[in-house]
């Protein structure tokens, strides 16, 4: 068997494995595929239609991660689907383009009212785009998905400490491998919050059962 065919078979097997990590209620309408983009994001969700979502994975980069790291990053994307926070193409870009085109046209014909309306449309759509791309909102979405990913991991048999450790390890790896400063900062913020969440979870478990070893939740 050639290296290419062996690699292709391994990728197919990995996609099948990930499909089994979907909660039963998502398996009929969530697709897991390898990304075909040039220089793609490691893993992301895309809405294909009203009742179909695809999780796209850069399989060559994905193969460099440990299994537990892959699982938690995968459940992070699943959590976004469950939280209904996957990115969607909205009306804002179309409205901004119409507004800009209208503004240019009205400058030519010098209709003050229509120019005002076109500029208003630009302002509203531009503000909505700014809101959607706000770093504070984006990081909150990521943190909420991390929390649900931990819950999904325990649903699939992980202990709570191991779920935290696996996601923390994955975030550390992404920090090391991400050259883009803004993206790296987001991973760092997620890891910082995850450490706080792990400490809180450990404290709650200490109150309920025998004390855990001090390094049980260490990330």
The predicted-structure confidence for 30-66, as pLDDT tens digits, reads as follows 999 999 888 899 999 988 877 889 999 999 999 999 9
Q: Which tokens belong to 175?
A: 């920090």
- CA separation for the pair 10, 62 (Å, rounded): 12
- Average pLDDT rounded to a whole number, residues 107-121: 53
Report, in angstroms and rounded to the nearest whole number, the Rg of the chain calculated over CA atoms: 22
Burial-class residue 163 by CB neighbours within 10 Å (0-12, 13-18, 19+): buried
For 5, 75, 165, 193, 202, the CA distances from 218, given in Å and listed in that order, are: 40, 21, 7, 13, 10
User: Of the given ranges (2-11, 33-42, 54-63, 177-186), which has the lowest mean pLDDT?
Assistant: 2-11
Burial-class residue 25 by CB neighbours within 10 Å (0-12, 13-18, 19+): exposed
- CA separation for the pair 19, 167 (Å, rounded): 19
Residue 64: half-sphere exposure toward Cβ, Cα within 13 Å: 8
Contact 86, 53 (CB under 8 A): yes
What percentage of the chain has pLDDT greater than the value 70? 70
- Average pLDDT rounded to a whole number, residues 112-129: 53
- Average pLDDT rounded to a whole number, residues 70-82: 97
- Average pLDDT rounded to a whole number, residues 122-142: 62
- Average pLDDT rounded to a whole number, residues 106-111: 49
Average pLDDT, the chain: 81
- CA separation for the pair 76, 68 (Å, rounded): 12
Contact 76, 149 (CB under 8 A): yes
Q: Where are the alpha helices (DSSP H) in the chain?
A: 3-20, 59-62, 67-83, 92-109, 112-132, 135-155, 160-177, 181-208
Neighbour count for residue 158 (Cβ, 10 Å)? 20
For 56, 94, 120, 150, 211, the CA distances from 77, given in Å and listed in that order, are: 10, 27, 36, 12, 33
- CA separation for the pair 114, 95 (Å, rounded): 15
- CA separation for the pair 48, 28 (Å, rounded): 14
What percentage of the chain has pLDDT greater than the value 90? 54
What is the per-residue pLDDT for 39? 87
């Amino acid at each position: 068997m050639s290296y290419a065919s062996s690699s292709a078979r391994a990728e197919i097997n990995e996609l099948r494995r990930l499909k089994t990590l979907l909660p039963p209620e998502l398996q009929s309408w969530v697709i897991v595929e390898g990304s075909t983009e040039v220089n793609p994001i490691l893993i992301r969700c895309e809405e294909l239609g009203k009742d179909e979502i695809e999780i796209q994975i850069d399989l060559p980069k994905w193969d460099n991660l440990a299994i537990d790291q892959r699982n938690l990053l995968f459940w992070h994307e699943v959590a976004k689907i469950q939280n209904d926070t996957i990115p969607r193409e909205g009306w804002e870009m179309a409205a901004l383009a119409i507004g800009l085109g209208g503004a240019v046209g009205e400058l030519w014909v010098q209709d003050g009212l229509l120019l005002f309306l076109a500029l208003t449309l630009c302002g509203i759509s531009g503000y909505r785009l700014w809101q959607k791309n706000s770093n504070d909102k984006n990081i909150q979405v990521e943190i909420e998905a991390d929390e649900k990913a931990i819950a999904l991991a325990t649903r699939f048999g992980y202990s709570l400490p191991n779920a935290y450790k696996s996601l923390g390890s994955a975030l550390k790896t992404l920090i090391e491998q991400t050259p883009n400063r803004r993206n790296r900062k987001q991973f760092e913020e997620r890891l910082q919050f995850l450490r706080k969440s792990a400490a809180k979870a450990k404290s709650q478990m200490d109150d309920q059962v025998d004390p855990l070893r001090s390094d049980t939740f260490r990330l």
